Structure 1
Amino acid sequence: MATEQVSIYFKIYCLTVMTLVAATYTVALRYTRTVSKDMYFSTTAVCLTEIIKLILSLGMLAKETGSLGKLKASITENIFRSPKELLKLSVPSLVYAVQNNMAFVALSNLDAAVYQVTYQLKIPCTALCTVLMLHRSLNRLQWFSVFMLCGGVTLVQWNPATSNMVQVEQNPILGFVAIAIAVLCSGFAGVYFEKVLKSSDTSLWVRNIQMYLSGILVTLAGVYMSDAANVVEKGFFFGYTPWVCFVILLASMGGLYTSVVVKYTDNIMKGFSAALAIVLSTIASVTLFGLQITATFASGTFLVCISIYLYGLPKQETTKISKEEMDKSSKQKLISV
């Protein structure tokens, strides 16, 4: 298995990068939505993110195929001759586009730390979608961790921490609604994409290219519907600063590194990564935005971090048990022979 062939140092490297990207992206996006005088259009940023992801995926597919001829053959076969597959991948493209735009709305109205904690509601949402769409089951500890996570998020939102260094007008209710929509989109799109991946032997990078091509069309339509007049008047790149470009680059890298982490690490390590990202976002928010930590926020954050760990724990134990059973069965077969 792939998880056994890579070194622990490579796993640590992947998790470290994903953690830093997740925490830095949230804080940097919050900064660009609260400090910039000439506010850039979030729809154009989401569109550029899809374009960069497409370019990076093409590079990974070129590395996987090993030659330019094989790359062309793969693109011809899976893109130009497979309109049904493109249409199939347009579903998560549309949903992810909504999710990414909602992240901009949420971080325009909520602090980065509050957003990072609340966004972990994607775990129970993904669990529910997994049960309904993939017909999997969760054990008692997993369900317990889901309810613990919901309780932690409730505490965080009950008396949310506030920033005394942010001068822009904010609407916490709008921010929470935006996160709720993003969470629903994340759960559905993630499980849908997993189902598509496991329905055939098509390369992950080919599937990514199919999805990002559809994503570019979807996000361009979003630019037209939401900001067409402003883009024509002010330009596609209005309000772009080095920080905005940095946010777009982080968003592009985050999706690809998440794929690598899913492939090469386990749920416990991913849980530690998510919890550490929350801690880093909180520290950065205190330093950069003057976040004032409340007792309910601290308690809720602690519950969320523990629940993330508990949710990943049963899967790891189940994997170990299944391996032990396989070893026993193989030994029995050898004895019988």
Structure 2
Amino acid sequence: MVARENVSLLFKLYCLLVMTLVAAAYTVALRYTRTVTTDMYFSTTAVCVTEVIKLLLSLVILAKETGSPSRLCNSLKENVIGSPKEMLKLSVPSLVYALQNNMAFVALSNLDAAVYQVTYQLKIPCTALCTVLMLNRSLSKLQWFSVFILCGGVVLVQYSPAEATRVQVEQNHLVGFGAVAVAVLCSGFAGVYFEKVLKSSDTSLWVRNIQMYISGIIVTLAGVFLTDGEAVIEKGFFYGYNYLVCFVIFLASVGGLYTSVVVKYTDNIMKGFSAAAAIVISTVASVLIFGLQITLTFSVGALLVCVSIYTYGLPRKDTTKIEIKEPSNNFSEKLISV
């Protein structure tokens, strides 16, 4: 019995480590790819490629879940080809997530990875508010207090004069914070909307993911040609891609899948530790790689955010406990889907 508990604890610590490293590595690597001055790739194509990979991974998992190719085909025929209303329903979060994922690129083109990592935690109060309004749930007084502290910490970070001295590309912090705000709103709404759709039927999570990713590919592909159409035709769809860009796409594609599995074996406290640790790692990496100059204001703000994330995930004694879930289609951290 003791040995089983030790194995369980080690597995949870392993999950915590991987979730933290994926979140931090994704943010830092994406920031780095947006600071180079030559052969800049099209962010819209990266988002589209990520959707394709997620769809393929979801198909593989659904095939394993159904057990045979014939059952897989029947499931797809019934839930994809034969369910236009459900496909239309899932096109809503697809559109919102497409906007969110592209906003992440805009934000990290104008903000340091550490500043983005801290500010993006506003997704917690945004998702909480959407959950209260859309799912009729409630938050404890401690959770509301944590939300207040988190917002205060983010405000301090935004007003911090911290600068990255080794980044030579032109940046606009106002545009960056605006992009984060849009991404946060999209994350909160789409996450709760997707959760509501999941709980409205017994349809498999992976079927829902496939429905959403098919719509997502259509939406993001349209975004490629509406935003960068002429340049893509002239230079090519994969212009500017290198091993680091592929690594970013890899993290975005499989990170959510891994998280969706390991979250079953962790809790809100561990997820809080993971988010706080990712902030610390991103900050250290920003200092070493981008020459970020940490100020007292930034340090206090980041500390408040880390504390609020931890206290928000503390267990509640009543039955109205809220559990925030963030689905897959987010280029950043996800709790459901691939």
Deviation at 1:256, TM superposition (A): 1.5
Q: Answer yes or no: is the 8 Å Cα contact 1:14–1:260 preserved in 2.
A: no
Deviation at 1:36, TM superposition (A): 4.6
Find the counterpart in structure 2 of residue 135 from structure 1. 136
Higher mean C-alpha displacement, 21-30 vs 248-257: 248-257
Q: Does 1:241 align with 2:242?
A: yes
User: Counterparts of 1:21 and 1:98 in 2: how far apart (Å)?
Assistant: 22
Deviation at 1:159, TM superposition (A): 1.4
Q: Answer yes or no: is the 8 Å Cα contact 1:153–1:304 preserved in 2.
A: yes
Q: Answer yes or no: is the 8 Å Cα contact 1:46–1:219 preserved in 2.
A: yes
Find the counterpart in structure 2 of residue 38 from structure 1. 39
Q: Does the residue aligned with 2:313 lie in a helix, a strand or coil?
A: helix
Q: Which amino acid aligns with 1:244?
A: V
With normalisation by structure 1, the TM-score equals 0.91
Deviation at 1:19, TM superposition (A): 1.3
Find the counterpart in structure 2 of residue 253 from structure 1. 254
Q: Does 1:70 align with 2:71?
A: yes
C-alpha root-mean-square deviation of aligned residues, in Å?
Answer: 1.7
Q: Which amino acid aligns with 1:85?
A: E
User: C-alpha deviations, 1:125-151, integer Å up to 9, x for none?
Assistant: 001000000000011100000000000
Q: Does 1:314 align with 2:276?
A: no
Q: Which runs of 5+ in 2 are unaligned?
A: 322-338
User: Counterparts of 1:224 and 1:104 in 2: how far apart (Å)?
Assistant: 17
Q: Which amino acid aligns with 2:258?
A: Y
- In structure 2, relative to structure 1, the CA distance for the partners of 1:229 and 1:66 (3 Å cut) is same
User: Counterparts of 1:259 and 1:204 in 2: how far apart (Å)?
Assistant: 10
Deviation at 1:17, TM superposition (A): 1.7
User: C-alpha deviations, 1:16-39, integer Å up to 9, x for none?
Assistant: 222111100000000000025111
User: Counterparts of 2:234 and 2:138 in 1: how far apart (Å)?
Assistant: 52
Q: Which amino acid aligns with 1:269?
A: M
Deviation at 1:48, TM superposition (A): 0.2
Q: Does the residue aligned with 1:170 lie in a helix, a strand or coil?
A: coil
Find the counterpart in structure 2 of residue 104 from structure 1. 105
- After superposition, residues 166-185 of structure 1 pair within 5 angstroms as 166-185=167-186
Q: Which runs of 5+ in 1 are unaligned?
A: 322-337
Find the counterpart in structure 2 of residue 329 from structure 1. none
User: By percentage of residues, which structure has more helix?
Assistant: 1
Deviation at 1:284, TM superposition (A): 0.7
User: Counterparts of 1:97 and 1:160 in 2: how far apart (Å)?
Assistant: 31
User: Counterparts of 2:58 and 2:114 in 1: how far apart (Å)?
Assistant: 30
- In structure 2, relative to structure 1, the CA distance for the partners of 1:199 and 1:160 (3 Å cut) is farther
Find the counterpart in structure 2 of residue 204 from structure 1. 205
Report % sequence identity.
77
* Structure 1 residue runs of 4 or more that deviate by more than 4 Å after TM superposition: none
Q: Which amino acid aligns with 1:220?
A: L
- In structure 2, relative to structure 1, the CA distance for the partners of 1:318 and 1:37 (3 Å cut) is farther
Larger Rg: 1
User: Counterparts of 1:112 and 1:279 in 2: how far apart (Å)?
Assistant: 11
User: C-alpha deviations, 1:230-288, integer Å up to 9, x for none?
Assistant: 00111101111111111011111122223224433211111111111111111111111
User: Counterparts of 1:160 and 1:93 in 2: how far apart (Å)?
Assistant: 36
With normalisation by structure 2, the TM-score equals 0.90
